[in-house]
Chains A and B, each alone.
Chain A
Amino acid sequence: MNPVPKSHPTAAIARRVSSGRYSGWRLFLEGLTGQRGWSRAWAKAAPRSRYRVVIVGGGGHGLATAFYLATEYGITDVAVLEKGPIGLGNVGRNTTTIRSNYFHPDNIRFYEYSLKLWEGLERKLNFNAMVSQRGVLNVFHTDAQRDLFTRRANTMRLLGVDAEPLSREAVKQRVPLVDLDNGRYPVLGGFLQPRGGTVRHDAVAWGYARAASEAGADIVEHCEVTGIRRDGARVTGVETTRGPIAADTVCLAVAGHSSRLAAMAGLALPIESHVLQAFVSEGIKPVLDVVLTYGAGHFYVSQSDKGGLVFGGAIDGYNTYGQRGTLPMAEEVAAAAMTLLPGLARLKVLRQWGGVMDMSMDGSPIISRTPLEGLIVNGGWCYGGFKAIPAGGLTTAHLIARQAPHPLAAHLDLERFAAGRTIDERGAGPFPYAH
């Protein structure tokens, strides 16, 4: 490839276009000028000794909180501290599904708000996150399950959210791979949320990081928080591997490790850490244009743009901080896949990985103040962290800036447990391993 000389007339245009914004024009012009006009997407900040807000955790929720603090609430004196590079935690380990087909009205409203933010996210961030609203289809296998899904669909529709019941035949038409009359759990029908879908998860971390950095927040990588400073019942900052940092507000956005960080401040949370596995198969031609969820076990699958089938199951089921899954659950997921989609039997699994998650006591997230003044917790995301990133970030930013909960996240407070207002989506009781 011949580098284009600096005096090339398009170079001047390219420099004008490259004000930092990404666009088709810029891509075209950079193509003509040797791709030399691109700069780093976000600044690698060194930590200062004090900030108004310190967010611990450079995952989806931490970065989104910093972005909304700057753009919606005008607070730019913010640092996001991440112990490694950003995007390597749960934001890059999930199965990329977005949806709002919940059971409890409060949860539907919250996740629907998130889905609406996903719909406008790429324009807002000026970053291609490959938001693909291909639909989320849950299939059911018993009459009772049909009744439950019908109730869920009705609740959603009453709240203005899209939900469609599908007949057996419609399920087959939509996903020809499904074995309707499989020997174990014949499929009786389905429940579709057409606006659900997938998003490229790495792009979410990078897009929020770039936009937050541009808006003025410091994104500090390789800065592990080792302690939380307290003055009585008030949190005054954090100790880190890069020195102490003072802050008016410290926000924990470290789902998976919330308990460990809270313990540094002397708090015990209603959370256990569990590992959730995900898998991806070798790439094949397009066979699945919807996110498909099995009703007789925990199994969900979608096809990535590279052609690999991305799928996951339930948590392994006992407390762990190990970012790796074990074989019994891998076997269970494979068995569910074979029951629902036997045509995939000869497909090879290319990769398998695990992410450590906050499993809360009622299966719902926590966006809350704590008994310590100046300490905010965003955690307890269970299976729902990725899809909640935009709404989680925005409502956490609201809580930090206004010092009062956002109306859509007010039910996610920590006091709900003692007050008997738990939001138990599955009715499983205070047993995190059962959610």
Chain B
Amino acid sequence: MLRIPCPWCGERDETEFRYRGDASQSRPAAEAGLAAFNAYVYERQNPCGWHLEWWLHVGGCRKLLKVVRHTLSHEIHSVGGPEDPLSLPQGLTR
């Protein structure tokens, strides 16, 4: 069971949240071309290590959170709002 510290509601069980995938992708410019859009929609780094991801607090404040979580230990490093520039910890990725 993950315990996700929501900046607005405090620490809550993962069952209050819905996972919304990789948050490191940003939408390319409209004229960026097929390869860029293919990478944006489909290709993922899928790291075994620290991962920047979206979680929707659907059973709480209903805000979208950005979370840095480790995909092997499931440790949560930091949580912020969509605008917060969270960075991945160094040195612990495989």
Q: Which residues of A are at the interface with B, using a C-beta cutoff of 8 A?
A: 257, 259-260, 263, 268-273, 317-322, 326-328, 361, 417-418, 430-433
Pick the contact of B46: A259, A328, A430 (CB < 8 A): A259
Per-position contact with A for B24-59: 1 when CB-CB < 8 Å, else 0? 000000000011001101111111100101000000
| A269 in contact with B19 given A320-B74, A417-B38 (CB within 8 Å) | no
Q: A288–B48 Cα gap in the complex (Å)?
A: 39
- Separation in Å of the B14 CB from the closest CB of chain A? 6
* A272 touching B72, Cβ below 8 Å: no
B2-40 CB contacts (< 8 Å) to partner A: 2, 13-15, 19, 21-22, 34-35, 38-39
* B45 touching A263, Cβ below 8 Å: yes
* B44 touching A271, Cβ below 8 Å: yes
Q: A322–B75 Cα gap in the complex (Å)?
A: 12
- B71 sits at the interface (CB 8 A): yes
- Separation in Å of the B68 CB from the closest CB of chain A? 12
Other than A268-B39, A321-B71, give 15 A-B pairs with Cβ distance below 8 A.
A259-B44, A263-B45, A268-B43, A268-B46, A270-B43, A272-B46, A273-B46, A318-B2, A318-B69, A319-B22, A319-B46, A322-B73, A326-B74, A328-B13, A417-B42
* A321 touching B48, Cβ below 8 Å: yes
- B92 sits at the interface (CB 8 A): no
* B42 touching A270, Cβ below 8 Å: yes
Contact-residue bracket for chain B: 20 to 34
Chain B neighbourhood of A271, CB < 8 A? 44, 46
B50-94 CB contacts (< 8 Å) to partner A: 51, 53, 69, 71-74, 94
* A269 touching B46, Cβ below 8 Å: yes
Chain B CB within 10 Å — which of A318, A326, A430 has the most?
A: A318
| A418 in contact with B46 given A322-B72, A328-B1 (CB within 8 Å) | no
- Separation in Å of the A265 CB from the closest CB of chain B? 14
Q: A268–B46 Cα gap in the complex (Å)?
A: 8
* B42 touching A430, Cβ below 8 Å: yes
Q: A330–B64 Cα gap in the complex (Å)?
A: 26
Which residue of B is nearest A414, CB measured?
A: B42
Pick the contact of A318: B13, B39, B53 (CB < 8 A): B53
Chain B neighbourhood of A270, CB < 8 A? 42-44
17 pairs, A vs B, C-beta closer than 8 Å: A259-B45, A260-B94, A269-B44, A270-B43, A271-B44, A318-B53, A318-B69, A319-B51, A319-B71, A322-B71, A322-B74, A326-B14, A328-B14, A328-B15, A418-B42, A430-B41, A433-B21
* A319 touching B53, Cβ below 8 Å: yes
Which residue of B is nearest A273, CB measured?
A: B46
| A269 in contact with B53 given A321-B72, A431-B21 (CB within 8 Å) | no
Which residue of A is nearest B51, CB measured?
A: A319
| A418 in contact with B53 given A321-B48, A431-B21 (CB within 8 Å) | no
* B35 touching A418, Cβ below 8 Å: yes
Which residue of A is nearest B73, CB measured?
A: A322
* B44 touching A272, Cβ below 8 Å: yes
Which residue of A is nearest B38, CB measured?
A: A418
Pick the contact of B42: A257, A273, A322, A361 (CB < 8 A): A361
Q: A430–B38 Cα gap in the complex (Å)?
A: 11
Which residue of A is nearest B13, CB measured?
A: A328
Chain B neighbourhood of A268, CB < 8 A? 39, 43-46
Chain A neighbourhood of B43, CB < 8 A? 268-270
Chain B neighbourhood of A269, CB < 8 A? 43-44, 46
Chain A neighbourhood of B2, CB < 8 A? 318, 326
* A318 touching B48, Cβ below 8 Å: no
Q: A263–B93 Cα gap in the complex (Å)?
A: 13
Pick the contact of B19: A260, A317, A327 (CB < 8 A): A317
- Separation in Å of the A333 CB from the closest CB of chain B? 14
Q: A361–B43 Cα gap in the complex (Å)?
A: 8
* A326 touching B1, Cβ below 8 Å: yes
Q: A269–B47 Cα gap in the complex (Å)?
A: 11
3 A-B pairs with the lowest CB-CB distances in the bound complex, closest first: A259-B46, A270-B42, A268-B43
Which residue of B is nearest A360, CB measured?
A: B42
